[in-house]
Structure formats: C-alpha cells, structure tokens
Amino acid sequence: MIPTLNLRTVVGLLLLLALLLLPLYVELTGSRFLLTLFTRIVILALAAVSLNLLLGYGGMMSFGHAAYLGIGGYAVGILAFEGITSGFVQWPVALLVSAFFAFVIGALSLRTRGIYFIMITLAFAQMAYYIVAGLARYGGDDGLTIQKRSQFIAPINLSNKVQFYYICLALLCAAIYLVWRIVNSRFGMAIQGARSNDMRMRAIGFPTYRYQLICFVIAGTLCGLAGALLANHTDFVSPAMMYWTRSGDLIIMVVLGGMGSTFGPLFGAVALLVLEEVLSGITEYWQIILGPLLLLVVLFARGGIDGLLGKARHG
C-alpha cells in the first residue's frame, strides 16, 4: 500500500528528517542539552507509537501503559545491578518480560469494556508499580542507578550520546513503519473494525478477543523496548517511571498528536515535550496552560495536530 503524499505525511517525514540532522545542529551550536532532550523525546515518541496502536487504532483505552516503560527499564536495571550488562541479554529479557505481562494483563482486562477496562488496566499498572517499589534490594522508592549502559559488541557504544540517539531514532522509525504495516494489514483492519463495532466484527467471523490480545502484546512489547532505552538514557530507574500519571502523559501525547494516525504520536511527543521545555523557560507556571489546552483539544480539536494538518483521520 503506497502512502498517500498529503500534508500530514510530508510534515511527518520532514520532522523525521529534522530529527536525523539534529546531532549536526548540536555540534554546530554546542548545545549538548538539545541532544539529551531529543533523545528523551524520541524514546517517549516510541512509547507513544506503541500506545497509539493500542488506543488510536485499537480503541483500547489502557491507562496502565507506563507500566511497560517500567518493566523494560527495570529489566535492564536489575540485570545490570546483578552484573549482567550485556545488551544481548538485557534487551531480549526486557522485551520478553514486557510481552509476558502484556499477555497476562491483556488476557484478563480484555474481558471487560469501557470504564471497567480503563480501571482494570490502571489497577494492573499500579500493581506493577507497587511490586517494583517493594523490592528493597533494587532500591525500592529510592530507585536504582545503572552504572554501565547495555553493552553490545564494538563499535556500538551506548555511552556515546550521538550513537545512542541514532539508535533510538532508528528504532523509532522502525516502530512507526511496523505499526503502519500492521494497521494496513488484514489484522489491522480487523482491529480497527473491532474498535468501531465489536459485535459486527464477531458476527462476520473475526475472533476479536484474540486479535485484540495480540495487539495488546505488541503494544506492550514495543513500550518495553522504549523502557529499556529510557533506562539507558537516564542511567537510572525508579518506580516513578510507571506511576499512573505517567500513563496519563503518554495518553496526552497520543491524543494531542492525533489518535489513529501514522505520525500523530511523533507530533504529540515532540509538541508536548518541546512545549514543556519552552514554556518552563518562560514561566514556571506553564502547566496552567497545558491543562486547559488539553481540555480544548478534547472538546474541539478531536483529531489533534494530525487532524489539524489533514482533513479527516482515517480509520
């Protein structure tokens, strides 16, 4: 399926290009802080992409998505603490554990609908939060410092900030592409169909529960990857990564950017985090703008940034 070359896609691709050239800009201006900031943006955009698959396309309002950030992050952190610093072990473990949790949580949660689904995903995320906060050996609420980043074979060196940025960016692009392929496949059509009318999909013969569960697991695993990246980025993990308000932040990114669109989560992550940086430089009370802004988006600009760029969202 050939992507249509409309404004939304063009802006999205331009943004990716800008992100690609960012390190050059950083070297010219010497503002290394920008590199740190945008690495974080790219990683959270990856998390938002995974949530978009679940929420934007699948219509599954999970309020516990930040749990996977924490699970992936702690997989890396705990293994590093125990002396296993090889990325070849850490990252697959992070992905597997995330997938496992997503499977269990999804299997149980998808039996419910609407507000109950929201609450139960929230409950499971909080449970994960408390499990992690309850581990004295790994710092509990104090968190865990990661002394050495995930080790791969030379020349890959995650401690090199530019390299690490490009790795994250590459993974983000891969994720965007993956989600795009999924959504435009038969599986993706079924998921989106289930979002608008679950009963009808089942009547036609699609096993919606199974499809949604698969979607749930993919989204959780992708987010676990983002968690592993985040742990490497900050050299630190703490239960706060998975507190329910962080899930709220991810949802804001997805909604602001435009749910159910290819580049929406990227727009949302960039917009939110850049706004945060810029506004906090102007006034320390910037969040007072963010709140009502979100409200207005919900009430009037349902398509988010992507919707503003295009005419109507697909799906």
Partner 1 sequence: MRKVLLAASAVALLAAGPAVAQNKSIKIGFVSTFSGPVAVIGNDMRNSFELALDHMGRKMGGLPVEVVYEDDTFKPEVGKQKTDKLIESDKVDFIVGYIWSNVLLASMKSAVDAKTFLITSNAGPHQIAGEQCSPFIFSTSWQNDQTPQAMGHYMNQKDVKTAFLIGPNYAAGKDMLGGVASTFKGKIVGQELTKWPDQLDFSAELAKAKAEKPDAIFVFYPGKAGVQFLSQYAQSGLKGQIPLYTAFTIDELSLPLQKDLALGVPGAQQWVNDLPNEANKKFVADYLKKYPGLRPSFYGAQTYDAANLIASAVAATKGNLSDKAAVQKALEKADFKSVRGNFRFNTNHMPIQNFYLQEAVKDADGNFVLKTVATIVEDNQDRFVTQCHMR
Partner 2 sequence: MTLFIEQCLNGLQFGLLLFLLAAGLTLVLGIMDLVNLAHGSLYMLGAYFAATFAAWTGSFVFGAVLALGATLLVGMAVEVIVMRRLYGRDHLDHVLATFGLILFFDELVRLIWGAGGMSLPLPSWLNTSVRILPGVDYSAYKLSIIVVSLGVAAFLYFLVMRTRLGMLIRAGASNREMVGALGVNIKLLFTLVFGLGAALAGLAGLMQAPILTVQIGMGENILILAFVITVIGGMGSIRGAFVAAILVGFIDTLGRAYFTDLLRLTFSKETAATAAPALSSMLIYLLMAIVLIIRPEGLFPANSK
Which residue ranges make up the site for partner 1 (CB under 8 A)?
A: 23-24, 26-28, 30-33, 36, 140-143, 145, 147, 160, 162-163, 166, 234-236, 238, 240-241
State how far the Cα of 260 lies from the Cα of 307, in Å rounded to an integer: 10
Residues that bind partner 2 (CB under 8 A): 61, 63, 108, 111-112, 114-116, 118-120, 122-124, 126-127, 130-131, 133-137, 140, 244-245, 248, 251-252, 255, 285-288, 290-295, 297-299
Q: Which does 24 bind (CB under 5 to 8 A by kind): partner 1, partner 2, none?
A: partner 1
Q: Which is nearer to partner 2, 137 or 186 (CB)?
A: 137
State how far the Cα of 73 lies from the Cα of 237, in Å rounded to an integer: 6
Q: Which is nearer to partner 1, 60 or 241 (CB)?
A: 241
Q: Which is nearer to partner 2, 27 or 141 (CB)?
A: 141
Taking a C-beta distance cutoff of 8 angstroms, is the pair 150, 75 a contact? no
Q: Residue 313 is encoded by which pair of tokens? A: 């969202």
Residues contacting residue 129 through CB under 8 Å, at least 6 positions apart: 67, 70, 239, 242, 243, 244
Q: Which is nearer to partner 2, 157 or 287 (CB)?
A: 287
Return the closest-CA partner of residue 238 out of 146, 158, 148.
146
Q: Which does 271 bind (CB under 5 to 8 A by kind): partner 1, partner 2, none?
A: none
Q: Which is nearer to partner 1, 23 or 193 (CB)?
A: 23
Q: Which is nearer to partner 1, 113 or 148 (CB)?
A: 148
Q: Which does 14 bind (CB under 5 to 8 A by kind): partner 2, partner 1, none?
A: none
CB of 161 to partner 1, least distance (A): 10
CB of 297 to partner 2, least distance (A): 8
Taking a C-beta distance cutoff of 8 angstroms, is the pair 258, 305 a contact? yes
Write down the residue that tokens 């503003």 correspond to. 308
Q: Which does 145 bind (CB under 5 to 8 A by kind): partner 2, partner 1, none?
A: partner 1
Q: Which is nearer to partner 1, 12 or 23 (CB)?
A: 23
What is the chain's Cα-based Rg?
Answer: 19
Taking a C-beta distance cutoff of 8 angstroms, is the pair 216, 50 a contact? no
CB of 302 to partner 2, least distance (A): 8
Q: Which does 154 bind (CB under 5 to 8 A by kind): partner 1, partner 2, none?
A: none
State how far the Cα of 117 lies from the Cα of 58, in Å rounded to an integer: 13
Q: Which does 112 bind (CB under 5 to 8 A by kind): partner 1, partner 2, none?
A: partner 2
Q: Which does 66 bind (CB under 5 to 8 A by kind): partner 1, partner 2, none?
A: none
Q: Which does 213 bind (CB under 5 to 8 A by kind): partner 1, partner 2, none?
A: none
Phi/psi of residue 253, each to 5°? -60, -45
Q: Which is nearer to partner 2, 127 or 278 (CB)?
A: 127
